[in-house]
Amino acid sequence: MKSVQQEVDERSNLTNSNKFELLLFRLGGDANGEHSELFGINVFKIREIVAMPEVTAVAGSSPHMLGVVNLRGQIITVLDLPSIVGVIPKTGLNIMLVTEFARTTQAFAVESVDEIVRLDWSQVLTAEGTAGGRVTSIARVDGDVQNTRLAQVLDVETILRELVPPEGKDVDPETIGPQLLLKPGQIILAADDSVVARSLIEKGLTAMGAHYIMTKTGKEAWDRLQHIADGAKAEGVPVDERVGLVLTDLEMPEMDGFTLTRLIKQDARFAKIPVVIHSSLSGKTNEDHVRGVGADAYVAKFVAEDLAATIRQVLHK
């Protein structure tokens, strides 16, 4: 039997191979309780899984908010995930997933938990627009086989922005600080699979006066960087004259941000291009991984002023 430390080490080392672990769970089905589909969330986002405790309703809250629970002295908001995605649990809300990301702790009520599976990001395909924009990708759980199980990976960032919007403006040009000093013709290449995250990043970069190219996956960003490098070579200029910085999420279909960063840092053509990782995955373990792949900086999502300050610091070293 593996020790707890072995399990932790194995899970941590997944970031070196474009792999991750997905917690599979079910939310319910149609009005008759049929067609219960699989959903998934990255294990790195899960703090704990507990039997559904007693929930205290909060007056005037969203219809998708069940209320709050007191979990070992911490008051945590509990969201009704089946209601959010429009399905009906046949046996009730039995399990609570406590998650930590984007600097917040919250819980999601689900019907049941199936298992944890280890996948390569190449098994995950982008699926923007599914479930009202609340699904980022579809995971082929059993690999590229005819009858593979399919799991919908939820865009939790979008769900939380809709149900628990932050106070004040997402991006305030008056507080975001001075304009970036990119060279003429330079752009920032950004990658993020979340619709809401891309929108916030675009607003922030625009407020800083930066030209940018936005992509939806690590693979798309890598392919775009190759194309830019080929163009720069044809013009007889180094590629860093065209790309001033790469800004990448970590969790993305096809190729994650760890792999994208590693590819960039191992390629002599891109030696002078800094990489900033911008992720909802927080905590010391993930920050250690970021340093391990050679990223120039890490910033947790999403505070526009923090992102702007980090980008400036890296660019103006």
Phi, psi at residue 203, to the nearest 5°? -65, -40
Greater pLDDT, 281 or 50: 50
The pair of three-digit structure tokens given for residue 166, joined into one six-digit string: 């932050």
pLDDT tens digits, 126-137: 886 555 567 888
pLDDT of residue 10: 54
Q: Can you give the C-alpha Rg of the chain in angstroms?
A: 20
Q: Are 78 and 68 in contact (CB under 8 A)?
A: yes
Listed ranges 18-32, 66-80, 135-149; the one with the highest mean pLDDT = 66-80
pLDDT of residue 178: 85
pLDDT of residue 44: 80
What domains lie within the chain, and their CATH numbers? 4-163 (2.40.50.180), 187-316 (3.40.50.2300)
What pTM was computed for the model?
0.81
Q: Are 170 and 203 in contact (CB under 8 A)?
A: yes
pLDDT of residue 265: 94
pLDDT tens digits, 246-259: 999 988 888 999 89
**pLDDT above 80 (res 153):** yes
pLDDT of residue 175: 83
DSSP letter for each residue of 94-143? -EEEEEEETTEEEEEEESEEEEEEEEEGGGEEEEEEEGGGTEEEEEETT-
Cα atoms in the 13 Å half-sphere on the side-chain side of 230: 6
**pLDDT above 80 (res 216):** yes
Greater pLDDT, 268 or 176: 268
Using pLDDT thresholds of 50, 70 and 90, give the confidence band for residue 167. low
Using pLDDT thresholds of 50, 70 and 90, give the confidence band for residue 60. confident
What's the rounded Cα separation, in Å, for the pair 106 and 65? 11
What's the rounded Cα separation, in Å, for the pair 138 and 190? 22
